[in-house]
Amino acid sequence: MQETPEMGYSVASIVFPGVPMSDGMPAGFVPLQLRMGFLDAIGPLYGKWADNRLLLGFRVEPRHCNPGEVAHGGMLATFADMLLPIASRFQSRLDLGFLPTINLSLDFLAPAPLGAWVEGRAEGLTATRNLLFAQGTASADGIPCLRASGIFKITSPASNKSGDLSRDALLDSNN
Protein backbone atom coordinates (compact mmCIF):
# COMPACT_ATOMS: atom_id res chain seq x y z
CA MET A 1 0.00 0.00 0.00
CA GLN A 2 1.16 3.48 -0.75
CA GLU A 3 0.24 6.28 1.67
CA THR A 4 -0.95 9.52 0.12
CA PRO A 5 -0.53 12.06 2.94
CA GLU A 6 -2.25 14.99 1.27
CA MET A 7 -5.37 12.88 0.76
CA GLY A 8 -5.20 11.14 4.16
CA TYR A 9 -5.96 7.62 2.89
CA SER A 10 -4.15 4.64 1.47
CA VAL A 11 -4.48 3.52 -2.09
CA ALA A 12 -3.12 0.42 -3.78
CA SER A 13 -0.02 0.95 -5.88
CA ILE A 14 -1.17 0.13 -9.38
CA VAL A 15 1.26 -1.02 -12.01
CA PHE A 16 -0.32 -1.91 -15.35
CA PRO A 17 1.98 -1.67 -18.38
CA GLY A 18 1.00 0.98 -20.90
CA VAL A 19 -1.86 2.37 -18.82
CA PRO A 20 -1.31 5.74 -17.14
CA MET A 21 -2.80 5.57 -13.65
CA SER A 22 -3.31 8.43 -11.27
CA ASP A 23 -4.26 8.52 -7.61
CA GLY A 24 -5.62 12.02 -8.22
CA MET A 25 -9.32 12.59 -7.92
CA PRO A 26 -11.21 15.48 -9.46
CA ALA A 27 -11.31 18.62 -7.32
CA GLY A 28 -13.64 18.52 -4.36
CA PHE A 29 -14.06 14.73 -4.13
CA VAL A 30 -13.30 13.10 -0.77
CA PRO A 31 -13.31 9.42 0.21
CA LEU A 32 -16.82 8.38 1.22
CA GLN A 33 -16.74 7.41 4.88
CA LEU A 34 -18.65 4.18 4.36
CA ARG A 35 -16.42 1.25 5.12
CA MET A 36 -17.92 -2.14 5.75
CA GLY A 37 -17.98 -5.63 4.31
CA PHE A 38 -18.15 -5.74 0.55
CA LEU A 39 -17.50 -2.01 0.19
CA ASP A 40 -14.06 -2.47 1.75
CA ALA A 41 -13.16 -4.84 -1.09
CA ILE A 42 -14.21 -2.55 -3.94
CA GLY A 43 -13.73 0.95 -2.51
CA PRO A 44 -13.09 3.55 -1.76
CA LEU A 45 -15.86 5.47 -3.42
CA TYR A 46 -15.52 9.25 -3.50
CA GLY A 47 -18.20 11.86 -2.98
CA LYS A 48 -18.69 15.54 -3.64
CA TRP A 49 -21.62 17.76 -2.64
CA ALA A 50 -22.13 20.43 -5.30
CA ASP A 51 -25.16 22.51 -6.31
CA ASN A 52 -27.41 20.56 -3.90
CA ARG A 53 -26.47 17.26 -5.55
CA LEU A 54 -24.30 14.38 -4.49
CA LEU A 55 -21.78 13.18 -7.06
CA LEU A 56 -20.14 9.79 -6.47
CA GLY A 57 -17.10 8.45 -8.26
CA PHE A 58 -14.30 5.93 -8.38
CA ARG A 59 -11.15 5.35 -10.39
CA VAL A 60 -11.26 2.08 -12.40
CA GLU A 61 -8.46 -0.12 -11.07
CA PRO A 62 -7.34 -3.58 -12.26
CA ARG A 63 -9.36 -5.22 -9.45
CA HIS A 64 -12.53 -3.66 -10.90
CA CYS A 65 -11.91 -4.99 -14.43
CA ASN A 66 -12.94 -7.94 -16.55
CA PRO A 67 -10.47 -9.62 -18.96
CA GLY A 68 -11.13 -6.82 -21.49
CA GLU A 69 -9.51 -4.33 -19.09
CA VAL A 70 -12.75 -2.39 -18.61
CA ALA A 71 -14.86 -2.09 -15.46
CA HIS A 72 -16.77 -5.30 -14.85
CA GLY A 73 -20.55 -4.96 -15.10
CA GLY A 74 -20.79 -6.16 -11.50
CA MET A 75 -18.64 -3.25 -10.35
CA LEU A 76 -20.80 -0.77 -12.24
CA ALA A 77 -23.94 -2.41 -10.83
CA THR A 78 -22.56 -2.11 -7.30
CA PHE A 79 -21.68 1.52 -7.96
CA ALA A 80 -25.25 2.20 -9.17
CA ASP A 81 -26.65 0.35 -6.15
CA MET A 82 -24.77 2.78 -3.90
CA LEU A 83 -25.30 5.89 -6.01
CA LEU A 84 -29.09 5.82 -6.35
CA PRO A 85 -30.14 5.49 -2.69
CA ILE A 86 -27.35 7.60 -1.19
CA ALA A 87 -27.80 10.50 -3.62
CA SER A 88 -31.58 10.34 -3.19
CA ARG A 89 -31.23 10.37 0.61
CA PHE A 90 -28.90 13.39 0.58
CA GLN A 91 -30.93 15.36 -1.92
CA SER A 92 -34.27 14.70 -0.20
CA ARG A 93 -32.90 15.84 3.17
CA LEU A 94 -35.05 13.12 4.80
CA ASP A 95 -33.92 10.33 7.09
CA LEU A 96 -35.14 7.39 5.05
CA GLY A 97 -33.44 4.72 7.17
CA PHE A 98 -31.50 1.94 5.48
CA LEU A 99 -32.67 1.60 1.85
CA PRO A 100 -32.45 -2.06 0.77
CA THR A 101 -32.72 -2.63 -2.96
CA ILE A 102 -35.94 -4.11 -4.30
CA ASN A 103 -35.17 -3.66 -8.00
CA LEU A 104 -32.16 -2.36 -9.91
CA SER A 105 -32.22 -1.97 -13.70
CA LEU A 106 -29.12 -1.08 -15.68
CA ASP A 107 -28.22 -0.18 -19.22
CA PHE A 108 -24.52 -0.37 -20.05
CA LEU A 109 -23.93 2.40 -22.58
CA ALA A 110 -20.15 2.26 -23.12
CA PRO A 111 -17.11 0.66 -21.49
CA ALA A 112 -15.38 2.27 -18.52
CA PRO A 113 -11.71 1.56 -19.30
CA LEU A 114 -8.97 0.83 -16.83
CA GLY A 115 -7.77 4.12 -15.33
CA ALA A 116 -10.98 6.03 -16.13
CA TRP A 117 -12.73 8.24 -13.58
CA VAL A 118 -16.32 7.02 -13.28
CA GLU A 119 -18.67 9.70 -11.96
CA GLY A 120 -22.36 9.33 -11.27
CA ARG A 121 -25.30 11.53 -10.40
CA ALA A 122 -28.78 10.45 -9.39
CA GLU A 123 -32.10 11.75 -8.21
CA GLY A 124 -35.05 10.45 -6.31
CA LEU A 125 -38.08 10.51 -8.59
CA THR A 126 -40.78 9.91 -6.01
CA ALA A 127 -41.28 8.32 -2.64
CA THR A 128 -44.34 6.59 -1.28
CA ARG A 129 -44.82 5.63 2.34
CA ASN A 130 -42.70 2.50 1.77
CA LEU A 131 -40.78 2.88 -1.49
CA LEU A 132 -38.23 5.21 -3.06
CA PHE A 133 -37.96 5.35 -6.87
CA ALA A 134 -34.67 6.73 -8.23
CA GLN A 135 -32.70 7.07 -11.45
CA GLY A 136 -29.18 8.06 -12.37
CA THR A 137 -26.38 8.03 -14.90
CA ALA A 138 -22.63 7.59 -14.80
CA SER A 139 -19.88 8.58 -17.18
CA ALA A 140 -16.32 7.33 -17.66
CA ASP A 141 -13.98 10.24 -18.32
CA GLY A 142 -17.00 12.25 -19.47
CA ILE A 143 -18.48 9.59 -21.79
CA PRO A 144 -21.87 8.21 -20.65
CA CYS A 145 -21.35 4.57 -19.64
CA LEU A 146 -24.31 3.63 -17.44
CA ARG A 147 -27.99 4.39 -16.96
CA ALA A 148 -29.70 3.03 -13.86
CA SER A 149 -33.08 3.03 -12.19
CA GLY A 150 -34.04 1.45 -8.92
CA ILE A 151 -36.70 0.87 -6.32
CA PHE A 152 -35.66 0.88 -2.67
CA LYS A 153 -37.53 -0.01 0.52
CA ILE A 154 -37.88 2.90 2.94
CA THR A 155 -37.24 1.63 6.46
CA SER A 156 -37.17 3.24 9.87
CA PRO A 157 -34.08 5.24 10.89
CA ALA A 158 -33.46 2.58 13.57
CA SER A 159 -32.93 -0.05 10.82
CA ASN A 160 -29.53 1.41 9.97
CA LYS A 161 -27.06 -0.84 11.82
CA SER A 162 -23.95 0.72 10.24
CA GLY A 163 -23.79 4.08 11.94
CA ASP A 164 -24.41 7.59 10.73
CA LEU A 165 -25.35 7.83 7.04
CA SER A 166 -25.81 11.59 7.06
CA ARG A 167 -24.15 13.81 4.47
CA ASP A 168 -21.86 15.35 7.09
CA ALA A 169 -20.68 11.94 8.30
CA LEU A 170 -20.18 10.35 4.87
CA LEU A 171 -18.37 13.32 3.33
CA ASP A 172 -16.23 14.14 6.37
CA SER A 173 -12.73 14.40 4.91
CA ASN A 174 -11.24 14.48 8.43
CA ASN A 175 -11.94 10.76 9.04
Residues of the chain by 3-state class (helix, strand, coil), percent to 5: 20, 35, 45
Write the DSSP string, 62-89.
GGGB-TTSBB-HHHHHHHHHHHHHHHHH
Report the distance separating Cα 112 and Cα 59, nearest Å.
10
- For residue 67, give every residue at least 6 positions away whose Cβ sits within 8 Å of its Cβ, in sequence order, or none: none
116: nearest Cα among 62, 47, 175, 160:
62
Residue by residue, pLDDT tens for the chain (175 residues) are 233 333 232 223 333 333 334 467 899 999 887 767 777 788 889 999 888 899 999 999 999 999 999 999 999 999 999 999 999 988 887 777 789 999 999 999 999 999 999 999 999 999 998 999 999 999 999 999 999 999 999 988 776 655 555 556 556 655 5
Phi-psi region at 63: left, alpha or beta (left = phi > 0; alpha = psi -120 to 50) = alpha
| Model-wide pTM > 0.85 | no
Name 152's bridge partners.
Answer: 101, 132
Which class does domain 2-170 fall in? Answer: alpha beta
Distances (CA, A) of 37 to 43, 65, 118, 144, 171: 10, 20, 22, 29, 19
The residue ranges of every structural domain in the chain are 2-170
- For residue 51, give every residue at least 6 positions away whose Cβ sits within 8 Å of its Cβ, in sequence order, or none: none
Asked if 96 and 116 touch (Cβ cutoff 8 Å), the reply is no
Asked if 25 and 117 touch (Cβ cutoff 8 Å), the reply is yes
Report the distance separating Cα 163 and Cα 38, nearest Å.
16
Phi-psi region at 115: left, alpha or beta (left = phi > 0; alpha = psi -120 to 50) = left
Q: Which amino acid is at 119?
A: E
